[in-house]
Amino acid sequence: MDWGVVSPIVATVAREATLFAAIGMFVGGIDDLLVDSIFLIKRVTGWWRGERTPTLADMRPSGKRLAIFIPAWDEAAVIGAMLATLSQRVASATLTVFVGTYPNDPATIAAVTRMADLDPRIRLVVGSAPGPTTKADCLNSIWRALLAEEAASGTPFDAIVLHDAEDVVHPAEIAVIDHYLDEFAAVQLPVIPLPHDDAPLVGGTYLDEFADAHGRTLVVRGAIGAGLPFAGVGCAIARPVLERIAAARDGDPFDADSLTEDYELGLTVAAMGGRTRFARVLERPGGPLIGVRAYFPKNFDAATRQKARWMLGIALAGWDRTGWGRTRHIGEWWMRMRDRRAPIAAIVLLAAYLALVLAAVQFVFGLPNPEPSPEMFALLGVTTALLLIRIVVRAAFVWRLYGVAEALRSVPRMLIGNIVAMASARLAVLRYIRMLRGTPLHWDKTIHQFPEAVPPV
Identify the bridge partners of residue 162 per DSSP, sorted by sequence position.
69, 235
What CA–CA distances, in Å, run from 89 to 130, 205, 268, 454, 456? Answer: 32, 28, 31, 10, 11
Q: Verify that 38 and 64 share a domain, yes or no.
A: no
Handedness of CA 73, 168, 142, 321 (dihedral sign): negative
> 277, 225, 276, 271: which is closest to 245 by C-alpha?
271
DSSP 233-270: SSEEEEHHHHHHHHHHTTT-SS-TT-S-HHHHHHHHHH
- Asked whether residue 373 is domain-assigned, the answer is yes
* Residue at 268: amino acid letter: T
The predicted-structure confidence for 56-99, as pLDDT tens digits, reads as follows 999 999 999 999 999 999 999 999 999 999 999 999 999 999 99
Query: Do residues 313 and 259 lie in contact, with contact meaning Cβ atoms separated by under 8 Å?
Result: yes
Q: How many structural domains is the chain composed of?
A: 2
Torsion angle of the four alpha carbons 220, 224, 225, 227, in this order, in degrees rounded to the nearest 10: -50
From the number of C-beta atoms within 10 Å of its C-beta (0-12, 13-18, 19+), residue 3 rates as middle
Q: Verify that 84 and 149 share a domain, yes or no.
A: yes
| pLDDT confidence of residue 88 | 94
Query: Do residues 205 and 416 lie in contact, with contact meaning Cβ atoms separated by under 8 Å?
Result: yes
In the chain, helix, strand, coil percent, each to 5? 55, 10, 35
| pLDDT confidence of residue 325 | 66
Q: Verify that 39 and 60 share a domain, yes or no.
A: no
Written in H, E and C, the secondary structure of 332-389 is HHHHHHHHCCHHHHHHHHHHHHHHHHHHHHHHHCCCCCCCCCHHHHHHHHHHHHHHHH
Identify the bridge partners of residue 193 per DSSP, sorted by sequence position.
294
CATH number at residue 275: 3.90.550.10
Last residue of a domain, one of 248, 277, 298: 298
For residues 274 and 326, what is the distance between their CA atoms, to the nearest angstrom?
A: 13
- Asked whether residue 49 is domain-assigned, the answer is no
- Asked whether residue 176 is domain-assigned, the answer is yes
Contacts of 422 (CB under 8 A, 6+ apart): 346, 349, 350
| pLDDT confidence of residue 2 | 54
Contacts of 267 (CB under 8 A, 6+ apart): 227, 229, 322, 325
- Asked whether residue 319 is domain-assigned, the answer is no
Q: Verify that 74 and 108 share a domain, yes or no.
A: yes
For residues 383 and 28, what is the distance between their CA atoms, to the nearest angstrom?
A: 9
From the number of C-beta atoms within 10 Å of its C-beta (0-12, 13-18, 19+), residue 213 rates as middle
Q: Verify that 95 and 238 share a domain, yes or no.
A: yes
- Asked whether residue 374 is domain-assigned, the answer is yes
- Asked whether residue 331 is domain-assigned, the answer is no
Q: Verify that 241 and 100 share a domain, yes or no.
A: yes
Query: Phi first, then psi: what are they for 443, rounded to 5°?
Result: -80, 100
The H or E element that residue 405 is part of is: helix 404-436
Q: Verify that 147 and 245 share a domain, yes or no.
A: yes
* Residue at 407: amino acid letter: A
- Asked whether residue 188 is domain-assigned, the answer is yes
For residues 44 and 169, what is the distance between their CA atoms, to the nearest angstrom?
A: 32
- Asked whether residue 238 is domain-assigned, the answer is yes
pTM above 0.85, yes or no: yes
Residues of the chain with pLDDT under 50: none
Handedness of CA 107, 111, 117, 119 (dihedral sign): negative
For residues 38 and 253, what is the distance between their CA atoms, to the nearest angstrom?
A: 34
**Distance from the first to the final alpha carbon of the chain:** 65
Which residues form the domain of 391? 6-43+337-436
The predicted-structure confidence for 241-269, as pLDDT tens digits, reads as follows 999 999 998 899 998 888 788 888 998 99
Q: Verify that 106 and 31 share a domain, yes or no.
A: no
Question: Within its chain, how far is the Cα of 457 from the centroid?
Answer: 23
Q: Verify that 64 and 28 share a domain, yes or no.
A: no
> 339, 139, 156: which is closest to 256 by C-alpha?
139
Q: Are strands 95-101 and 122-126 parallel, antiparallel or unpaired?
A: parallel
Q: Verify that 20 and 165 share a domain, yes or no.
A: no
Q: Verify that 251 and 224 share a domain, yes or no.
A: yes
| pLDDT confidence of residue 141 | 96
Neighbour tally for 222: CB within 10 Å: 18
Q: Verify that 229 and 143 share a domain, yes or no.
A: yes
Residues in the chain: 457
Contacts of 10 (CB under 8 A, 6+ apart): 3, 358, 361, 362, 367
Query: Phi first, then psi: what are they for 447, rounded to 5°?
Result: -75, 125
